Chains A and B, each alone.
Chain A
Amino acid sequence: MNDRSSDLKGVRLDSQEDAGRHVVRTRGISKAFGAIEALVDLDLDIPKGCVYGIIGPNGSGKTTTIRILNGLLRASSGQAWLLGEAVPVSESIHRIGYMPQEMAIYSDLTAVENLELFAGMYSMRRERFEERADYLLDMIDLKDRGGSLVSELSGGMKHRLSLACALVHDPELVFLDEPTVGVDPELRNGFWEHFSRLKAEGKTIVLTTHYMDEAVRCDMVGMMRLGRMIAEDTPEELMASTGALNLEEAFLQRSRRVEQ
């Protein structure tokens, strides 16, 4: 952590304890693409072990947020920290996983070769990788398709493999950008079981979605609209405070309130 980052907007971020508690923290990050304000003044504090859902319609800035946190985009202003380290992280990079919104796996490699490539990037040992690959292929129900070329797998299978690639090095913090888009409901349930298991292991998950029914299963939900965070709370609180019966309605009410 550098000096500039430790005192921003009057928030002191000095103690290791604090950094350990909030694995994701941002202060005033904004991003403009020319005239488009993709992200405006975002503050996030995501505690360890939390499943945090960023929800919002297409173009609301979810992917931009995730890409800034992963160091793929530079914020126009503001600062972010992951696991206590200023973004872009270097030390902590081993402890973070990322599943991009596009599938982002190699279609001309087999499923196992994809896993092996990403394991190699994290310098995993051979035996550890084999153990891990077994576990993950089992988890994504692709055990007997490990040797198949990705181009021969179905859309859902590719999706699951992409998730496994993000988890191959057993990260403490994972960013999943729309992990369940185009995934059938049964499979989506399976994904959520994995997320619960990860949470139980003390991992932190930050995911984006535009399925409101899915957001209900998160510990915390941040609602985004036009690059701004318009509400953030537990799903229960969000519904209770707006008197809405479901999150969708809560989102619409919040949106309306912002417009006024």
Chain B
Amino acid sequence: MNARRVLAIALKTLRSLRHDKRTAGFLVFMPLFMIAIFGYTFGGEIENVDVVVVNLDVGSANGSVADMIIGDLASRVTLRLTALSSPDEAVEAVRLTDAWAAIYFGPEFTEQVEEGIAVSALGLFAVPSVVELHLDASNPNIAQTVVTELQASIQVVLVEHYDMNPPVAVVEDRVYGEGAEFIDFFAPGVMGLAAMMVTFMLSIISFVRERSTGTLDRLLTTPVTEGEIVGGYAMAFGIVALIQSTVILVAAMLLFKVTVEGSALLALLTIFLLGVGSQGLGFLLSSIAKNEFQAVQFIPLILFPSILLAGVFWPLEAVPDILRPVSNFIPLTYAVDGCRSIMVRGWGAGDVWPQLAVLAGFAAATLMLSAYSLKKRG
């Protein structure tokens, strides 16, 4: 290995990226765009869900339980309530999709609640009082949110006004992730995904071009070795991955107040290893592709499983058992897991070394195979 030749290859690779203004811009803005879009969409809570309410409850001497529940719901921003006067009208509003849900309290609601409480106090079986909830559950997330909100408000009212404390209380102690929000879980995933996508795409396209334009052959007739070419490219794309993950990290910290519990440098090292390995993979696949068009076909083949199965958006626990081995085979899985442990759990190198070792192994293997693939001549 001649370090100067490795540097010369790395320099030329970075220079060609810099000259290609659109690609250079893409490299910086794509990750920014990704973290912004994902951060604002996934990071945001569900708010202002339109719900119509029909309250015919006449109440009792203590007031109306329905009023209290509605009052509690209205104190939060999740649901946007509109009062209607008849149940039919309310159901029609859901049918016309003017509202996601209709909540209906009958005239005897408070009476039934108080009766139920009294009966339970005597140790007898009480018939539960009923709130009708008509849902447009075509969006499960929204439907679930409405149900949860309604139940939470009922709970609050019973505890505050009727001293109905549940017999079991959960004591929560957050071992990791105190104060963590969804975006904290998410940012490491985006860093890994962006670095992998870009280094893989750039390297597969660059190498198909090196092959088809004859520049690779020309290089190979100079004293440069296969290993030096591979090393130079790895260095260049590793730097690209570093720049990108730094952009994402800084954006996540500034825009979304993401905090890094562990060492940011260690997180960047994790992404660097992933970037080097992904570029090696692109390099290898470029030897199978005959032209740029064929190369492009490899991109979704590699990206889709990674996006879906590496735990970027959903936890690995959400991956069905039969696909779990695939997850374990995807390098991004280890990068995201490692990066998350560093950034959210505050783990150090001593804790994430298995992930780092897998990524280093992936990088070493793809680079060595790439160098070997260049050596094979007809």
**A interface residues (Cβ-Cβ under 8 A, vs B):** 33, 67, 70-74, 93-94, 96, 98, 100-110, 113, 116-118, 120-123, 149, 165
Contact = CB atoms under 8 A, between A and B. Distances in A.
Chain B binding surface, main DSSP class: helix
A72 B215 contact: no
A72 B223 contact: no
Interface stretch (B11-19, B157-165, B296-304, B318-326): B11-19
Interface residues of B, number: 25
B221 A71 contact: yes
Interface in B200-234: 213-215, 217-224
A102 B224 CA distance: 20
B33 to A, nearest CB: 23
Given A74-B378, A105-B215, A123-B5, A113 B220 contact: no
A117 B8 contact: yes
Contact of B221 (A72, A101, A105, A110): A72
B378 A121 contact: no
B219 A121 contact: yes
B214 to A, nearest CB: 4
Interface of B: 2, 4-5, 7-9, 11-12, 15-16, 19-20, 213-215, 217-224, 377-378
B220 A94 contact: no
Nearest to A123: B4
B253 to A, nearest CB: 33
A94 B378 CA distance: 23
Nearest to A88: B377
Given A117-B8, A122-B223, A108 B213 contact: no
A74 B20 contact: no
B201 to A, nearest CB: 16
B213 A117 contact: no
B222 A100 contact: no
Given A73-B378, A106-B12, A113-B15, A121 B223 contact: yes
Contacts of A101: 214
Contact of A108 (B4, B20, B214): B20
Given A73-B378, A93-B223, A122-B223, A106 B16 contact: yes
Nearest to B212: A102
Nearest to B23: A108
Contacts of A123: 2, 4-5, 223
A149 B16 CA distance: 10
Contact of B218 (A71, A93, A100, A122): A100
A109 B221 contact: no
Contacts of B222: 93, 118, 121-122
A10 B15 CA distance: 52
Contacts of B217: 67, 72, 100, 104
A116 B12 CA distance: 9
Nearest to B19: A108
A120 B4 contact: yes
Contacts of A93: 221-223
A107 B223 CA distance: 22
B375 to A, nearest CB: 11
Nearest to A169: B222
B212 to A, nearest CB: 9
Nearest to A89: B221
Nearest to B218: A104
A67 B216 CA distance: 13
Contacts of B7: 120
Contact of B377 (A33, A74, A165): A74
Contacts of A105: 215
Contacts of A113: 12, 15
8 contacts: A70-B221, A71-B220, A104-B213, A107-B213, A108-B20, A120-B12, A122-B222, A123-B2
A123 B225 CA distance: 13
A98 B19 contact: no
A104 B209 CA distance: 10
Contacts of A118: 222
A33 B378 CA distance: 9
A152 B12 CA distance: 18
Contact of A98 (B2, B213, B221): B221
B12 A117 contact: yes
Contacts of B219: 121
Given A72-B377, A109-B12, A110-B19, A120 B5 contact: yes
Contacts of B223: 93-94, 121-123
A120 B217 CA distance: 16
A116 B218 CA distance: 14
B215 A109 contact: no
Closest 10 CB pairs of A and B: A120-B8, A104-B214, A121-B222, A108-B16, A102-B214, A104-B218, A98-B221, A117-B12, A121-B224, A70-B221
